[in-house]
């Protein structure tokens, strides 16, 4: 950018008379005064605002100049790098229609410092006075410089009083907004843009007073830039949430996890507004928690409050005496939203700290087992003696006895695989045909996320589970071979994904109906109960805790989950799995005697 006052006085930016000095690539001298001079890199020059960084080192001593130029070179290189980062940030930053008082004050301070730095540099280079030798390039006289400051100030006052602008101030506002220590996107013509102009005008009035004080010999120091100064703008929460989701889905999130986090961060924004990150306070977090304490579980499905805004729904639910969601679910919601704010703390300098810290509800400690019960042996017999497994009319009329045993259906196989492997329902339903494979000579189910249609709950869920001989006797390999010959990618292609992006959601509803049909209606039993059953059978068969953890895809203590998954390990795992006895369960009515089964057994 051309020097604001100097350009107005002389019609150009005075940078002549510089001579390169040995000792540092950026050391120059004009007359007796030394300067730092660096060309702005080509990749940022168009947006940087000037083509070089010419800065007075404010000394005539060469040794001191060498010391200062090294410091200034590092500082300027950091400015270049900061500008590159901010160009990237600016591309996704929100376009503002208004400014906060803090932002207006900051813009005024930045522009005021710019004008005083410019004034100081002009004075160091020398103002022309009667009797002085003629300069090499045009420079203003001492009197002209003071008159120009007054004229510039009067023009700014006239427009500032009317909250108006002109072409010069519009252009200046556009440029100031792109500076590294401002870096805001403000919609032209908006109230916010007018406030940018007003802040610049206020800075000119303030600087003119300081320039005239300097003319009177009362030196006003140029404000030094604060190296810890934070960016003036952070993105809207909605913009930051999208960046967070992109990062997390790339790392580990499943579609279900993504949906849950989106749902509750959106609920937070609906409660507290979609504002810039730095504008939120602890009070917003407390307000959101207060709403959650009133909100019923599955509130969007309750006729009395369905369709209301979340705050209105919470208030109405309290009025109607609807029971609120459990403390466990409230804490889960607070963790979802709190995880975004913890991420924001690490990614935005002026994000509020500890926004959700300490807000979780105190709860009586309980075991994970208390959340779901295993099925009793009688329950398991009732499930696997249901018409679905002994013969039904069709999958639609699966509770009515008939001649069909749907061995080609995921609804038939998933409970059996769950019982014999302890795998989660989504892990089973997303299996590909090629996931039934030999690993170091051991026939296994490979639980992995190799494929666009797959996801794992955690990184520890990746594992190879040896296939129990009882599952082979039930004809599982016949189903695998049938799907392989049909050229199918998935092992259970009849099972479809739900609206949340996973297979388990629609399946869990089907399986719940199967439980209802056989009279198992206790609230703490569901498909996940089979995972508890598998663990119980493992313990009863004296399988070690480490092996159980690995088979169920849980993290192990210390470094044990990082090493030892070779041939000897798989052989030992297979021996452990084959030793598991499922005592008390009679599934002989499902055994098959096919060639595929005989060849393996």
- Domains annotated for the chain, with CATH where assigned, are 4-215 (no CATH), 237-365 (no CATH), 372-600 (1.10.443.10)
Question: What is the pLDDT, as a whole number, of residue 560?
Answer: 46
User: Do the Cβ atoms of 18 and 28 come closer than 8 Å?
Assistant: yes
pLDDT tens-digit series, residues 69-106:
999 999 899 888 877 877 766 665 667 788 888 788 88
Give the model's confidence band at 8: pLDDT under 50 very low, under 70 low, under 90 confident, else very high.
Answer: very low
Give the model's confidence band at 16: pLDDT under 50 very low, under 70 low, under 90 confident, else very high.
Answer: low
User: Do the Cβ atoms of 541 and 579 come closer than 8 Å?
Assistant: yes
Q: Which of 56, 462, 497 is nearest to 256 (CA)?
A: 497
Considering Cα of 224, then 225, then 229, then 235, what sign does the dihedral take?
positive
For 265, half-sphere exposure in the C-beta direction (CA atoms, 13 angstrom radius) is: 27
User: Do the Cβ atoms of 330 and 300 come closer than 8 Å?
Assistant: no
Which range, of 38-52, 301-315, 538-552, averages the lowest pLDDT? 38-52
Please check the confidence at residue 65 and state whether its pLDDT lies above 70. Answer: yes
Q: Give the residue with greater pLDDT, 91 vs 435.
A: 435
Question: What is the pLDDT, as a whole number, of residue 562?
Answer: 47
Please check the confidence at residue 550 and state whether its pLDDT lies above 70. Answer: yes
For residues 384-405, average pLDDT: 94
Please check the confidence at residue 593 and state whether its pLDDT lies above 60. Answer: yes
Contacts of 594 (CB under 8 A, 6+ apart): 475, 478
For residues 449-458, average pLDDT: 81
Give the model's confidence band at 185: pLDDT under 50 very low, under 70 low, under 90 confident, else very high.
Answer: confident
SS3 (DSSP) at 447: strand
Residue 96's beta-bridge partner residues?
A: 186
For residues 397-401, average pLDDT: 92
Give the model's confidence band at 324: pLDDT under 50 very low, under 70 low, under 90 confident, else very high.
Answer: very high
Distance CA 288, CA 237 (A): 15
Q: Which of 484, 535, 477, 508 is nearest to 414 (CA)?
A: 508
Question: What is the pLDDT, as a whole number, of residue 95?
Answer: 78
For residues 439-462, average pLDDT: 86
Question: What is the pLDDT, as a whole number, of residue 563?
Answer: 47
Please check the confidence at residue 121 and state whether its pLDDT lies above 90. Answer: no
Q: What percent of the chain is modeled with pLDDT above 90?
A: 54
User: Do the Cβ atoms of 557 and 451 come closer than 8 Å?
Assistant: no
| Cα Rg of the chain (Å, integer) | 36
For residues 118-129, average pLDDT: 81
């Amino acid at each position: 950018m051309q020097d604001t006052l100097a350009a107005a006085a002389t019609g150009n930016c005075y940078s002549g008379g510089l001579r390169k000095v040995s000792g540092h690539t950026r050391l120059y001298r004009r007359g007796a005064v030394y300067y730092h001079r660096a060309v702005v890199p080509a990749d940022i020059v168009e947006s940087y605002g000037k083509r070089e960084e010419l800065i007075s080192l404010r000394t005539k001593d060469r040794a001191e100049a060498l010391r200062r130029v090294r410091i200034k070179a590092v500082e300027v290189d950091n400015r270049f790098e900061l500008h590159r980062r901010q160009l990237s940030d600016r591309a996704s930053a929100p376009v503002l229609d208004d400014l906060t008082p803090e932002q207006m004050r900051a813009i005024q301070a930045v522009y005021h410092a710019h004008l005083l730095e410019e004034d100081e540099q002009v004075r160091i280079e020398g103002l022309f006075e009667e009797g002085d030798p003629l300069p090499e390039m045009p420079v203003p006289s001492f009197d002209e410089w003071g008159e120009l400051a007054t004229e510039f100030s009067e023009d700014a006052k006239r427009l500032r009083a009317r909250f108006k602008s002109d072409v010069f101030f519009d252009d200046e506002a556009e440029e100031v907004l792109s500076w590294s220590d401002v870096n805001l996107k403000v919609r032209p013509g908006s109230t916010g843009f007018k406030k940018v102009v007003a802040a610049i005008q206020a800075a000119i009035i303030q600087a003119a007073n300081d320039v005239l004080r300097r003319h009177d010999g009362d030196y006003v120091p140029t404000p030094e830039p604060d190296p810890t100064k934070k960016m003036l703008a952070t993105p809207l929460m909605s913009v930051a949430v999208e960046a967070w989701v992109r990062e997390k889905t790339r790392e580990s999130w499943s579609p279900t996890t993504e949906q849950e986090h989106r749902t509750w961060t959106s609920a937070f924004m609906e409660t507290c507004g979609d504002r810039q990150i730095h504008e939120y306070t602890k009070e917003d977090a407390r307000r959101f928690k207060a709403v959650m304490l009133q909100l019923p579980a599955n509130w969007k499905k309750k006729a009395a409050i369905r369709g209301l805004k979340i705050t209105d729904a919470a208030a109405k639910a309290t009025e109607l005496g609807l029971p609120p969601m459990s403390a466990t679910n409230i804490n889960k919601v607070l963790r979802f939203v709190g995880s975004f704010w913890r991420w924001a703390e690490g990614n935005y300098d002026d994000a509020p700290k500890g926004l959700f810290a300490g807000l979780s509800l105190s709860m009586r400690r309980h075991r994970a087992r208390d959340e779901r019960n295993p099925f009793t042996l009688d329950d398991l017999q009732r499930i696997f003696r249901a018409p679905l497994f002994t013969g039904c009319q069709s999958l639609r009329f699966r509770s009515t006895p008939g001649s069909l045993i749907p061995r080609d259906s995921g609804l038939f196989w998933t409970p059996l695989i769950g019982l014999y492997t302890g795998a989660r329902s989504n892990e089973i339903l997303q299996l590909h045909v090629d996931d039934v494979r030999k690993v170091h000579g051991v026939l296994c189910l490979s639980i992995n996320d190799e494929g666009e249609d797959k996801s794992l709950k955690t990184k520890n869920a990746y594992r190879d589970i040896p296939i129990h001989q009882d599952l082979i006797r039930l004809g599982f390999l016949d189903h695998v071979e049938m799907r392989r010959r049909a050229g199918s990618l998935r092992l259970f292609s009849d099972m479809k994904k739900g609206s949340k992006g996973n297979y388990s959601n629609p399946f869990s509803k089907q399986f719940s109906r199967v439980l209802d049909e056989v009279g198992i209606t206790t609230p703490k039993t569901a498909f996940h109960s089979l995972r508890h059953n598998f663990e119980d059978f493992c313990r009863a068969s004296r399988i070690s805790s480490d092996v159980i953890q690995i088979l169920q895809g849980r993290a192990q203590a210390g470094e044990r989950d990082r090493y030892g998954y070779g041939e000897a390990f798989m052989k030992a795992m297979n021996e452990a799995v084959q030793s598991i006895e499922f005592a008390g369960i009679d599934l002989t009515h499902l055994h098959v005697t096919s060639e595929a089964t005989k060849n393996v057994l």
